[in-house]
Amino acid sequence: MIPDRLRWLVEPGTPTHQLGEKFAEAGHSLFLVGGSVRDALLGRPHDDLDFATDARPPQIKAVVGGWADAVFSVGEAFGTIGVRKQGRAYEITTFRDEVYRTDSRKPSVTFSDRIEDDLARRDFTVNAMALRLPDAMLVDPHDGLLDLARTRLRTPLDPHLAFSDDPLRMLRLFRFQATLGFEPDAEAVAAVTEMASRLEIISVERIRDEFSKLLVVPEPAPALWGLVSTGLFDHFLPEMHELSMEQDPVHRHKDVLSHTIAVVEKTRPDNLRLRMAALLHDVGKPATRQFGAKGVSFHHHEVVGARMARERLHALRYPKELIDEVSRLVFLHLRPHTLKMGWTDAAVRRYVRDAGDLLDDLNELVRCDVTTGNERRARAIQLRIDELEVRIVELAHQEELASLRPPIDGHDVIRFLGITPGPLVGEIMEMLLERRIEEGPYTPEQAYRQLREFALERGLPLPAGSDVTPG
C-alpha cells in the first residue's frame, strides 16, 4: 500500500513512474533519492527531484533521449545528466563515492554499482533513503526513517569520516537544524567542534550559499548558536566570536552576541538583506568600546560596523547590490534614536532620502533592535518609530516624498550659468537638494534665483540674459 504522501511520485502515468519504467526496460535500476524522499515522507513540498542509477552518463542519455523534452550534460563529469520533461527539471546521477582530498576544494568522484554505496556517502541519514522506481520500494540502510520520526540529524557513517569527505556538511548540519527543526546528534556536534578548521578548504561561494539558506528560516537562533559553540563561525564570520566577548550594557542580554541573535530571530524570514543586516548591525561595537563616567559606550559603532559588514560580505563574495544594501542598513540603524525630541519635516525628509527603497527594512530593523527588558524604555522606542511612520505618511500626502529632488536638473544649471559639466554642477545640485530637504517643495523660479545668488557669491560670470528666469 503506497502512502498518500508518496502517491504523486510513483503513480502510473506520472513522469517519475515513466522514468522508472524506462530504466527498468533498459536493464538499469533507478531510485528517487535525497531531500525529495525525506520531504515526501514528511509531507513537505519539494520541487527538486533527484535520481540515482547504476547507469553511467552515456547510458543515462541513451535511456532518456527519446523521452525527455531536453537533455543537459553540464554535470556529466560528476556523473549527472539533467533532463526536462513537461516543464519540470530532473537530475539523474550515477551511484558514486565522493571524497575530498585533504587540501582540495574539489571532490574526487568514483562511480559505484550499488545504491547502498551511494547512500552511505550522503550527509545525513534522513537524506540517505531511496525510493526504488517504478515499484516504490523504500531502501533505508541507515535507519533514516527512525531518525525522521525522532527529528534527529545523524550521519550515515562515523561523523569524522562524513565531515572529512565533505567539510561543508558541518555547516549543512546546522542549516538542516534551522530548516527542519531537527536536533543534531551529539556525536556529530562533537566532530564538528574537533574539525571546524577543515571548513577552510571549502570555497567561499559554497559556504555563502549554505549560510544564506540557514539565515532566512523562521527560527534560526538554535542553529546560529550551534555555529558559535562549535567554532564554525570563526572560519567564515569571525566577527561573531568577538561579539560574544563584548558585554551588553543596555539590552537584557549578557553579551552583544545574545542581543544580535535575538534581533535576527525577531526580523521577518525570507529576507536575506534584512536578516544579514540584523546579524551584522552591531559588529562595530568591539572596535568602538570606550569606558567613561557613565559606563561603557560604543560611539559611532554604526559607521565602523557598516565598513566591517561591507568587508566581510565582500570576502564571502555576496553580490554588490546586497553588500551595499546591508552596509547602508547597518549605517542607518541608529538614526531614529538620535531624534528623541521629535521629527521635524526636514528630519523626516532626510531619513526617507537616506533610506531610499530600504525604508521598510530599516524601520523593521530599528524596531527589532529593541530587546531590552525595561518595558518602559522599549515602549518609548516603539512609540518613537510609530511617530516616525505616521509623520512619513502625513508628509507624503503633502508633497512628493518618495522622489526628493530639486525643481531643476543639472542640464538646467549648465544652460543657465553657461558652465561645463563637472564637479561644480554636482555641488550646485547638492545645494539645491539640501534646500528641498530643509524647506520642502519650491518653484523653478526660486531655484534660478538661488543659482544667480550662488554665482554672484562665487564671482562666476553671468551670461547675458541670466537675470531673466528661463521660461
pLDDT at position 101: 54
pLDDT at 465 over 80: no
330 close to 277: Cβ distance less than 8 angstroms: yes
Among 17-26, 47-56, 106-115, the range scoring the smallest mean pLDDT is: 106-115
pLDDT at position 238: 95
For the segment 278-288, the average pLDDT, to the nearest whole number, is 92
443 close to 425: Cβ distance less than 8 angstroms: no
pTM across the whole model: 0.84
For the segment 397-422, what is each residue's pLDDT rounded down to a tens digit? Answer: 888 887 788 999 999 999 999 899 99
Counting residues of the chain whose pLDDT is more than 70, the rounded percentage is 90
The domains found in the chain, sorted by start residue, are 4-150 (3.30.460.10), 154-232 (1.10.110.30), 237-404 (1.10.3210), 410-458 (no CATH)
pLDDT at position 288: 80
When pLDDT is cut at 50, 70 and 90, the band that residue 96 belongs to is confident
When pLDDT is cut at 50, 70 and 90, the band that residue 341 belongs to is low
The Cα 408–Cα 136 span in angstroms is: 70
pLDDT at 325 over 80: yes
pLDDT at position 180: 94
For the segment 449-468, the average pLDDT, to the nearest whole number, is 79
174 close to 226: Cβ distance less than 8 angstroms: yes
When pLDDT is cut at 50, 70 and 90, the band that residue 343 belongs to is confident
pLDDT at position 336: 79
pLDDT at position 273: 98
For the segment 243-266, the average pLDDT, to the nearest whole number, is 76
Among 144-153, 177-186, 393-402, 462-471, the range scoring the smallest mean pLDDT is: 462-471
For the segment 226-254, what is each residue's pLDDT rounded down to a tens digit? Answer: 999 999 999 999 999 888 765 655 544 45
When pLDDT is cut at 50, 70 and 90, the band that residue 108 belongs to is low
| HEC sequence for the chain | CCCHHHHHHHCCCCHHHHHHHHHHHCCCCEEEECHHHHHHHHCCCCCCEEEEECCCHHHHHHHHCCCCCEEECCCHHHCEEEEEECCEEEEEEECEEEEECCCCCCEEEEECCCHHHHHHCCCCHHHCCEEEECCCEEECCCCHHHHHHCCEECCCCCHHHHHHHCCHHHHHHHHHHHHHCCEECHHHHHHHHHHHHHHHHCCHHHHHHHHHHHHCCCCCHHHHHHHHHHCHHHHCCCHHHHHHCCECCCCCCCEHHHHHHHHHHHCCCCCHHHHHHHHHCCCCHHHHCEEECCEEECCCHHHHHHHHHHHHHHHCCCCHHHHHHHHHHHHHCCHHHHCCCCCCHHHHHHHHHHHHHHHHHHHHHHHHCCCCCCHHHHHHHHHHHHHHHHHHHHHHHHCCCCCCCCCCCHHHHHHHHCCCCCHHHHHHHHHHHHHHHHHCCCCHHHHHHHHHHHHHHHCCCCCCCCCCCCC
pLDDT at position 464: 61
- pLDDT averaged over the chain? 89
The Cα 283–Cα 285 span in angstroms is: 6
pLDDT at 340 over 70: no
When pLDDT is cut at 50, 70 and 90, the band that residue 297 belongs to is low
